[in-house]
Amino acid sequence: MTGHVGELASAYLDGETTAEESAKVIAHLAECASCRDELADLHAARSALRGLPVLEMPVSVMVDMGLVPDVVPLRRRPIAWVAAAAASVAIFIGGATLAAPQTVGIPLDDVSSQYEQQVRIDPGLTPPVGVVTEPEGAQ
Amino acid sequence: MIRRVTFVAVVAAGVVMASASLAAAGEIPEYLERQATAVYSGEQSVVCITPDGRQTEVFEVGQNAAGVTVTRSQSGTVRAGHSARNEGWDPSDAYRAERSRATTLLGRDVEEISVSDGDVVRLRLRFDVRTGVLLASDIYNADGSTYCSTRFVSFAEGDPGIAAGETAPPLTAPDDLEATSEIDRALPLSLAGFERIRVTEGPQATVVAAFYEDGVFTFTLMNSDNPIAVPELEESGTIDFDGRSYRRAFQLGRAVYAWNSSEGGYVLVGDLPLDVQERILELLPEPESQGFFQRLWRGLFG
């Protein structure tokens, strides 16, 4: 190696030099105090950079920069939402069922009796076929 | 001259026919009044021809001053009959009564009177001239077919020996409910020539019942805000009139219909001929299936 380490210093620290280049750098550093200091400063600067906290880029900035196609909403705890919705529907149907009108059952005999009672008071002209009513005490 | 003679003849014929019609109309209440006080006994057969088949029953009938009794010959059950009409006959304007002919039945002189609704003969009545008792009658559908017939197959004047306790107690009209716009909407004041006579409480809570008559036929219409079911009709099939579906059953001399609609549940029971049944039903709220969610909706929002 005729000159100083120069640009090879950074590649050497990154492990990107070939075996031959690494051997030359090592041989040069053994003789050149200036290059050893330069390599030490470069290593310290890189370590300091790696120690800084990592900040996440805002999604809106990434969208503006075209780094992501669009914003996808995050799904958070879907089971809880489904359970809450199911409970609401169950409460609604239960309440509505209680409020729904109940069917009134009228036996056919009661229908007939109601009619016969009226016919006995106000008969039409048609003969009273089948219009018969129990007297008191009769079987 | 010929025209004048023809005109006079037509007018004379019209006057004679009108007189006969008025005379016949006047005779009916007279017969009914005499029948109410007649003392007699006999056997009466009743036959009704319905879409569900022929229905037949024979009754033993007896009447004296104590009242009238009717015994079902098949079951032997003694029952009291209705109180006979003894007031004036007041049919709707649609009906016309005409004396048909004088004839005999069971060896007795009878007078036959036809009651027509327009061109349709609805009733043919044969009254015993001597006692006023209605010995035979026929009710017709609009197509001229017979719906129901009654015939005394034996008849005798004389006291059948009915004791006072064997007859039904006198009936008084049930309390008429105060008519409201809601009642008038669900149970109209008039329907196809029938007038609403009274509205009373129905056989179940929440049910109101209106009784209608047109002077010849009668029916009761029941309504409830709630759906109505007549259990015996649930097992029977349904009958469709132009896509409107009803549950129906025939009893001797009457038809019963049940359905649910947007105006609530309905039951109709009456002695109407088949075509009149259909005509009345057409004028009432049409049936709709009451699915769970429909009832649910009605329960929530009315």
CA trace torsion A118, A123, A127, A133 (10° rounding): 40
Beta pairing class for B228-229 and B238-241: unpaired
Q: Pick the residue from chain B with its C-alpha nearest to A122.
A: B85
Q: Pick the residue from chain B with its C-alpha nearest to A130.
A: B252
Chain B residues whose beta carbon lies within 8 Å of the beta carbon of residue A122: 197, 211, 213, 218
Say how far apart CA B207 and CA B242 lie, in whole Å: 27
Of B123, B134, B124, B127, nearest to B111 by C-alpha is B127
ipTM, 2 decimals?
Answer: 0.81
Cβ distance of A115 and B225 shorter than 8 Å: no
Does the beta carbon of A53 lie under 8 angstroms from any beta carbon of chain B? no
pLDDT tens column, B234-269:
887 789 999 999 999 999 889 999 999 988 999 999
Cβ distance of A130 and B253 shorter than 8 Å: yes
Beta pairing class for B228-229 and A104-105: parallel
Of B58, B51, B88, B95, nearest to B73 by C-alpha is B58
B167: distance to nearest CA of chain A, Å?
5
In a 10 Å sphere around its CB, with 0-12 CB exposed, 13-18 middle and 19+ buried, how is residue B278 labelled?
Answer: middle
What pLDDT, on the 0 to 100 scale, is given for residue B15?
A: 42
pLDDT tens column, A35-67:
888 888 888 887 777 777 777 777 777 778 877
What pLDDT, on the 0 to 100 scale, is given for residue A71?
A: 57
Contact map slice: A 68-97 vs B, CB within 8 A: 93, 96-97
Contact map slice: B 225-244 vs A, CB within 8 A: 225-233
Q: Is the pLDDT of residue B79 over 70?
A: no
